[in-house]
A = this chain, B = another copy of it.
Amino acid sequence: MKQFTIRTRARTDFVRLDDHISDCLAGAGLADGVATVFVPHTTAGVTINENADPDVPADLETVLDRMVPWQGDYRHGEGNTAAHVKASLMGSSVQVIVSGGRLRLGTWQSVFLCEFDGPRTRQVWIQGISNR
């Protein structure tokens, strides 16, 4: 297992991880298989979406904020229920195919850490599994 840390800059902040993940996989020598990108937190998640226009992750942040408002009739005493819900909506991991030693993403795809209760320092864990 490989890992790295990411410093987020705001309560809600989507951070591209592609280069970090590629570095981990190069270090692990994975040529063909699947990489699991796992976020060991409960108020942050991970998703794949468009990297070309920064308005796409910005819109995604905004729409999720509207779907699950920060202020609400919640029971959890820490006041960050919305972040927990959004983490489950995005999920704790993504799986990406590795082929020919390269992370195989679509033309417009990047992997984003989804910070929902920042700014914080977050960990990302990578496990590559070979198909041979």
Interface of A is mostly: mixed
Among B41, B74, B105, B127, contact of A40 (Cβ-Cβ < 8 Å): B105
Name the distance in Å between A132's Cβ and chain B's nearest Cβ: 7
B-facing mask of A17-59, CB < 8 A → 1, else 0? 0000000000000001110101111100001111001011011
Among B1, B38, B50, B78, contact of A95 (Cβ-Cβ < 8 Å): B38
B88 touches A47 (CB 8 A): yes
A106 touches B1 (CB 8 A): no
Residues of A within 8 A of B (CB): 1, 32-34, 36, 38-42, 47-50, 53, 55-56, 58-60, 62-64, 67-68, 72, 74-78, 81, 84-85, 87-97, 99, 104-109, 123, 125, 127-132
